[in-house]
């Protein structure tokens, strides 16, 4: 499989461009309002507060959108939840992270996602994916989600999305306040703000796609079973065809599986093509 170094270099390049957008944003604000200590402090506090709100609200919204509930620690009906807890505990020990809160949900499709950070992580697994996969395949999925927590992917994605939102807002209002402030100016400002946000999001989505490859690689490494992870992706992709996922707009970027067709959709996709992920796992 392609090593982490190549992926990390690409993520570093995209991340550097993303940071450049934030630096330009900060420069624009200080040029407009001054470079004093108070302005700098307000800029930093505002940025941190905005990211913090998006992180907290996003986590709450993702769990609520799929109706996630705490996973019991023993078997119930046809579900051997105790074995899932045990596998997760073992994987966490291998990865050197705290065991996250495990939750289950009826998502309408076989899928899973992680939210939170190392000390406060949550992994949500759909009943559909438990029904579909063999236990070693499910372990690969869980390891993938744990890798996202270990690598702080959720925090990084929230940070990137926040920068995109802030850039869009600043561009919109900079144009509005610098114009005649009529209805045409407001409309043009909204369009320019949206375009600016979309440009930044191209780099955010690129980072997301790279991190999916890294999480796949980590799952293969810690389970020592890349083939099981490849089979899981095949089954998930097949099982999701023609079905709609509960809360898709809220949690799509967080899930283990995502699909996109068309050149423009692929540019803004949070996930690389499933076929490419499977190919990399089978050459790992």
Give the catalytic positions in this structure: 145
51 vs 131: CA distance, rounded Å: 36
Closest CA to 71 of 98, 111, 105, 118: 105
Which distant-in-sequence residues (6+ apart) come within 8 Å of 107 by Cβ? 66, 126, 127, 128, 245, 246, 247
DSSP track, 223-248: HT-HHHHHHHHHHHHHHHTT---TTH
99 vs 258: CA distance, rounded Å: 25
DSSP track, 38-55: HHHHHHHHHHHHHHHHHH
By CB atoms closer than 10 A (0-12, 13-18, 19+), residue 55 is buried
């Amino acid at each position: 499989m392609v090593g982490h170094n190549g992926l990390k270099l690409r993520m570093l390049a995209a991340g550097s461009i993303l940071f450049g957008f934030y630096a330009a944003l900060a420069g624009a604000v200080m040029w407009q309002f001054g470079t004093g200590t108070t302005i700098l402090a307000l800029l930093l506090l505002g940025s941190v507060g905005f990211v913090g709100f998006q992180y907290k609200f996003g986590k709450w919204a993702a769990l609520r959108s799929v109706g996630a509930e705490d996973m019991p620690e023993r078997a119930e009906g046809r579900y051997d939840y105790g074995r899932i807890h045990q596998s997760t505990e073992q994987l966490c020990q291998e990865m050197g992270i705290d065991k996250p809160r495990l939750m289950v949900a009826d998502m309408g499709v076989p899928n899973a996602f992680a939210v939170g950070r190392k000390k406060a992580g949550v992994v949500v697994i759909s009943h559909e994916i438990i029904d579909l996969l063999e236990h070693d395949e499910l372990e690969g999925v869980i390891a993938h989600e744990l890798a996202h927590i270990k690598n702080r992917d959720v925090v990084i994605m929230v940070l990137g999305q926040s920068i995109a939102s802030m850039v869009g807002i600043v561009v919109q209002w900079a144009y509005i306040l610098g114009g005649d402030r009529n209805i045409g100016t407001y409309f043009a400002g909204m369009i320019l703000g949206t375009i600016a946000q979309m440009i930044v999001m191209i780099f955010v989505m690129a980072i997301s796609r790279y991190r999916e490859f890294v999480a796949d690689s980590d799952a293969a490494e810690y389970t020592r079973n890349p083939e099981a992870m490849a089979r899981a992706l095949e089954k998930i992709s097949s099982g999701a065809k023609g079905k709609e996922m509960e809360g898709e707009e809220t949690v799509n970027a967080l899930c283990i599986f995502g699909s996109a067709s068309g050149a423009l959709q692929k540019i803004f996709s949070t996930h690389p093509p499933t076929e490419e992920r499977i190919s990399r796992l089978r050459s790992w």
